[in-house]
Amino acid sequence: MTLERINNLGLLEARKEFIGCCHCERWATELTNLRPFASIEELIEKAESTWASATEDERLEAFAGHPQIGDVKVLRNKYAASANREQGQIVAAQESVLIALRDGNQRYIENNGFIFIVCATGKSADEMLGLLRDRLRNDRETELENASREQEAITRLRLQKLIEEEI
């Protein structure tokens, strides 16, 4: 899709495309209403500034739109296409690493009330497990900020992929 096409989509269509990049209703609606964008850089800048004003509930809404790292069943079913692109190395990981990721993510949820969010692109399952274990030491407020930064990085990548012809 081109930037010109995004700029010319109807409101519902554009919102749907943006929801696919970040599962936050207000963020997607606001970004839709900020069109037209002159460049991919402007789109990303507006996306990031809109995300920076997200409330905790809006951040949690976005986090809830992700499959759990290491949840192979979810990856293979509900999120097969996008999750396999973003978490492909997880799908090929050793069973022991997947179990450790699943168990660590469960502890993370118990500690923080939301799933472990990490921009998984380019990271091995072992790397993600290390990050998860490190972040399990943090308090909830720190993790809300960490997860928000990771969400922003994921969103940036998804927007760039959405506007493939413009990069």
23 is catalytic: no
- The answer to whether the CB of 70 falls within 8 A of the CB of 90 is yes
Q: What tokens does 99 get?
A: 């179990």
**For 121, phi and psi rounded to 5 degrees?**
-55, 125
Q: Catalytic residue, from 27, 32, 62, 66: name it.
A: 66
Helices (H), 10-115: 11-19, 25-33, 40-52, 56-64, 72-76, 80-91, 95-112
- The answer to whether the CB of 22 falls within 8 A of the CB of 28 is yes
Residue numbers annotated as active site: 66
